[in-house]
Each structure stands twice: as C-alpha cells, then as structure tokens.
C-alpha cells in the first residue's frame, strides 16, 4: 500500500461526493465523529431559519404552522430507516441517559409482571458508565440487582434470574461489536428481554432491530448522526411492548391529548407515550440536518455501502499503524464482523500525551481512560488518504517522541 494507492481508492469511492455535505475545518483530519459528529453545511442556515422565521416571525403559531409539535415523530421516522424499524415506531427526545431510564423501567415492569423471581439486570462490565449508573440507580429503586459480566461470559450468565439483558451494541472504548441477533435470541431463550444502546452504531453500521427481534433500543443524536453537541436522542420500543406500560416520566407530551389539560394521565398510543416534555425545537432542527447527511447515502447504497467503506478505512488505518508503531497494541477487533466504526490502540503510559500531540498536528482522535487511544471513522466525510495521513502523523509522533512535550501531558476536563 502507498499514499497514491489511497488516493486511487478515493477517486474510485462511490460515496466520495457525500463529503461535500460537511464544513470540515482546513488542515484537520477528524477521527472523533463517534464522539461529536462534524457540522453539516445545511445546519447553520436551517437553525438560522428556525430562529429568524419560525420563531421570530411565526412565534407561537409555528407549533402548528411549522410542524414543531410533530418533529419528534417525523424525525423519528427518518432515524427508523437507519435502524430497521417501521415509521411510527421511534421518537426523538431527551438524552440517551433519560431514554434509557424510560425503557429500562418499562422492561423491569414487564419482567416483574411475568415473574416475581427475575430480579437481575445483566450488562457488560465495560459498558458506557452512564448506562451502568442509570441501571444501578433503577435497580436500587425497584429492588433489582445489576450484574456485570465480561462480554464473552454473557451467554452463560443468562439464567432464570435475569429480567433484562442491557447492552451497548458497539463498545465505546474497544469498538467491539456484539452479535445483536444471537444475544437477543439467547436472552429470549432464557426468558429475558433485550435492550440495546445504539449510541456507537446508529449511522455507523447497518442495523435491523426487527430482524434481531430486539425489545427496546435507544441511541444518540450527536455521534454518527451529526446532530450537534447535546443533540436529542432516540427511543424505540417493539410495537408489541409499546403500550404495555406507562413509562415513568409521564409528562404531558406523552399524554393522549395534551391540550385537553385534564388532571389525569392517559398515555398516548404507541411510541409517543415515551415523550415527556416540550420538544427542543432548535436542537431537533439541527439534528434533522445531521440525519439527512446519513440518509443522503441511500441512493448510493445506504448503510451497507457506508459500512463497506468504514471497514476498508479502519482496516487500512489499523494495518498502517501496526506496521509502523510497534509500541501500540491494537485493542479493537481485527475481525470485520466484530468491529464497529472505530480503531483503538492501547499504551500503558503514553496514550493521553500521544493523542494530544496528534491533535496539535490536526489529527483529532480522543483518549479514553486508562490507556486507550481511540480513532472513530465516519465514512460520510473521511477519505482513504485521511486514514493514510493520520497513520503517518501517528508514526512521526512516536518516532520523534513528540509526546514528551510538557503541554501534551497536562490533563484537561474533557479527554
Ligand atoms: C455517548 C453515549 C451515551 C451518551 O448519553 P448522554 O445521555 O447523551 O450523555 C450513552 N450511552 C452510550 C453507550 C454512549 O456511547
């Protein structure tokens, strides 16, 4: 492989035109779209329009005339196309953490009704902390127990005590991807429900929640969906379960008829009962621009084409770094079928400083404590030559020991 070969791959890339949808700052190779996606070109003008016209001129009339009220459902229908569910099954609201609270609570209620003896929420020890914290708090409140296992032990830990298997599809740190269909099947065989967090999969890998027979799913708007910092999240409940329980945050937007202003709660039909309060219109408008950047791939092969390119990018980067930086240990799976859209390496001491030295060179990845150098690959805007050049920068940082500089060893709040 040579740099010219990478340029040739770009020239032949059927998705290359999608990069023009983004405002990428010059001189930056952005390998952190799994943490905060890049700003789409359409977003600033769209948010400006919502502010100036819909809010400024339309004022309160825009709840009807600009369709603000139905944004959670309309945008939900767009995301539904990316995760393999039908229109009307998914809504956009709140944050991933809050949506997890809603669906995990509903899952515990279903389990409790079916059997009083299933008292365990089973999850992975290396799951993203907010998922574990929410589960821990709910378990305390509801008299359940949160049990953590390593990924490979999960099937064996699915016994008659497990109420819910709660997993993140692609691990935020290692990039390891679970077999959603197989684990969901194992959970069901054991009599448990399966809840999936798609924070690192939605917009990054093809998903088919119905084919996998999942029960609940949540996901994040600001990672591969490019919705902007703190963008709203999404929530999906299998239509079989959607009306079985009230979710615990029974706000008026989840009411069957909020503008009757009646004192009693009557949940809305279907997934809309998973809404809580007033939609965050500005954030939803920005998120829609982000989701549209992913849907723009549909005529070019959609998620399958994005996945093929993502795998080729991560293969190229991992191979180059392994060939040139023997000090770094590849942590993400080499097997394509088990790797999400990121590549990670570990180093026992230098991880943080190496990432800082790379950022100073315009190659933006991130560090995940205690020892992980993490590089996310968003095929919508990354080129093969970016993967090549990023690996070259990393090689130079290691060979020239740039990580020694004191400013690269000063920890900031967000790593
Ligand atoms: C990013 C991420 C979140 C983020 O949750 P917020 O409520 O948006 O802070 C949650 N879970 C996982 C697995 C994530 O990767």
- Return the structure tokens found at 361: 């060179």
pLDDT for residue 347 is more than 90: yes
The mean per-residue pLDDT over the stretch 245-251 comes to: 94
pLDDT for residue 415 is more than 90: no
> What's the CA gap between 33 and 163, in Å, rounded?
34
HEC per residue, 264-287: CCCECCHHHHHCCCCCCHHHHHHH
* pLDDT tens-digit series, residues 14-49: 999 999 999 999 999 999 999 999 999 999 999 999
> Can 3-30+301-409 and 48-295 be said to share one CATH topology?
no
Q: Whose CA is nearest to atom 10 of ligand 1?
A: 96
Residues 381 and 18: beta-carbon distance below 8 Å: yes
Q: For the chain, give the longest Cα–Cα distance.
A: 69
With a CB cutoff of 8 Å and minimum separation 6, the contacts of 175 are 200, 331, 332, 333, 339, 340, 341, 342, 343, 344, 374
Indicate which atom in ligand 1 lies nearest the CA of residue 172.
15
SS3 347: coil
378 lines ligand 1 (CB under 6 A): no
pLDDT interval class at 411 (50, 70, 90): confident
pTM over 0.95: yes
Q: How far is CA 156 from CA 162, 187, 215, in A?
A: 11, 10, 20
Active site residue 52: no
The domain 3-30+301-409 is placed in CATH, from the list 3.30.390.50, 3.90.1150.10, 3.40.50.1110, 3.40.190.10, at 3.90.1150.10
* pLDDT tens-digit series, residues 261-283: 999 999 999 999 999 999 999 99
Mean pLDDT of the chain: 97
> Which fold, 48-295?
3.40.640
Distance 128 CA to ligand 1 centre (A): 7
* pLDDT score, position 413: 84
* pLDDT score, position 26: 96
- For the chain, the domains span 3-30+301-409, 48-295
Q: How far is CA 339 from CA 25, 61, 239, 322, 346, in A?
A: 28, 47, 30, 16, 16
pLDDT for residue 196 is more than 90: yes
* pLDDT tens-digit series, residues 207-242: 999 999 999 999 999 999 999 999 999 999 999 999
* pLDDT score, position 368: 93
* pLDDT score, position 78: 98
* pLDDT score, position 180: 98
3-state helix, strand, coil in the chain (%, to 5): 50, 15, 35
Task: Identify the sign of the CA torsion 385, 206, 70, 268.
Answer: negative
């Amino acid at each position: 492989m040579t740099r010219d070969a990478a340029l040739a791959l770009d020239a032949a890339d059927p998705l290359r035109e999608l990069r023009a949808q983004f405002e990428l700052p010059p001189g930056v190779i952005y390998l952190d779209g799994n943490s905060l996606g890049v700003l789409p070109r359409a977003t600033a003008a769209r948010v400006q329009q919502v502010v100036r016209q819909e809010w400024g001129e339309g004022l309160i009339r825009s709840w009807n005339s600009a369709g603000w009220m139905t944004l959670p459902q309309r945008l939900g229908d767009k995301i539904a196309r990316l995760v393999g569910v039908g229109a009307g099954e998914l809504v956009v609201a709140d944050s991933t953490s809050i949506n997890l609270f809603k669906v995990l609570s509903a899952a515990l209620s279903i389990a409790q009704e079916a059997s009083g003896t299933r008292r365990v929420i089973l999850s992975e020890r290396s799951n993203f902390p907010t998922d574990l914290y929410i589960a821990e708090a709910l378990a305390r409140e509801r008299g359940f127990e949160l049990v953590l296992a390593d990924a490979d032990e999960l099937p064996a830990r699915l016994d008659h005590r497990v109420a819910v298997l709660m997993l993140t599809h692609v691990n935020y740190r290692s990039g390891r991807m679970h077999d959603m269909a197989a684990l969901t099947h194992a959970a069901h065989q054991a009599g448990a429900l399966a809840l999936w967090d798609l924070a690192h999969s939605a917009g990054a890998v093809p998903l088919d929640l119905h084919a996998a027979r999942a029960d609940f799913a949540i996901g994040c708007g600001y990672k591969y969906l490019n919705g902007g910092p703190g963008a709203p999240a999404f929530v999906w409940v299998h239509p079989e379960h959607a009306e079985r329980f009230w979710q615990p945050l029974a706000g008026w937007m989840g009411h069957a008829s909020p503008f009757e202003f009646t004192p009693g709660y009557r949940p809305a039909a279907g997934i809309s009962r998973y809404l809580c309060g007033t939609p965050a219109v500005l954030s939803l408008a920005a998120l829609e621009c982000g989701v549209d950047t992913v849907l723009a791939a549909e005529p070019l092969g959609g998620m399958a084409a994005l996945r093929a390119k993502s795998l080729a990018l991560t293969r190229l980067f991992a191979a180059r770094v392994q060939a040139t930086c023997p000090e770094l240990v590849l942590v993400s799976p080499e097997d394509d079928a088990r790797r999400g859209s990121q590549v990670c390496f570990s180093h026992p001491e230098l991880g943080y400083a190496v990432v800082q030295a790379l950022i100073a060179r315009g190659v933006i990845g991130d560090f995940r404590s205690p020892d992980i150098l993490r590089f996310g690959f968003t095929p919508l805007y990354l080129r093969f030559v970016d993967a090549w050049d990023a690996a070259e920068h990393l090689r130079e940082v290691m060979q020239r020991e740039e990580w020694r500089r004191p400013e690269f060893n000063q920890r900031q709040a967000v790593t």
